[in-house]
Amino acid sequence: MVKQRVQDWQPTKDERLLDQIGWASDLVKAKRLAKKHKRPLFVFTYNGSTTRAHAIALQRC
């Protein structure tokens, strides 16, 4: 029962579509790459956590 439940409640592929986006790791790098590759910059800003860095998968946003 425990193993089945743990498996059933894992995130599915459809719930991890965020992972299919080629995100830059930080804003400084994103700006540099946007300029270098002549691509517009898409910035998503959200209110996350004062204590948890790079934890978007944890956040309600």
Partner 1 sequence: MRASSLSNKKVIELLNAHFLPVYVDSTYLQANADTDTVELAAYRDLFAELNRANEQRRKAGERRLSTGTVHAYVFAPDGRALDSRHVAHAGPASVIEMLEGAVTTLKVAAGKPIVAPSSQSPRPDCADDALTLHLTARYLVPSNSSEARQDVKGEFVPLDASRLGGERSGQWSALPSEDWYVLERQEWSRLLPNARVAVGDSWEVDLKVAETLLTRFYPTTELNDLNKNRLDERSLKLTALSVEKDRVCARIDGRLKMKHPFYPGRDDNNFVNATIIGLIEFDSAKPHIHSLQIATDGATYGVNGKRLQQFGVAVRNVR
Footprint on residues 1-60 left by partner 1 (CB under 8 A): 1-3, 5-6, 8-12, 14-31, 33-35, 37-60
Give least dist CB 30 to partner 1, A.
4
Where residue 50 falls (left for φ over 0; alpha for ψ -120 to 50; beta otherwise) is alpha
Give least dist CB 32 to partner 1, A.
9
- The four Cα atoms 25, 50, 44, 24 give a dihedral, to 10 degrees, of 0
Q: Are 32 and 40 in contact (CB under 8 A)?
A: no
The residues of the shown chain that bind partner 1, judged by CB under 8 A, are: 1-3, 5-6, 8-12, 14-31, 33-35, 37-61
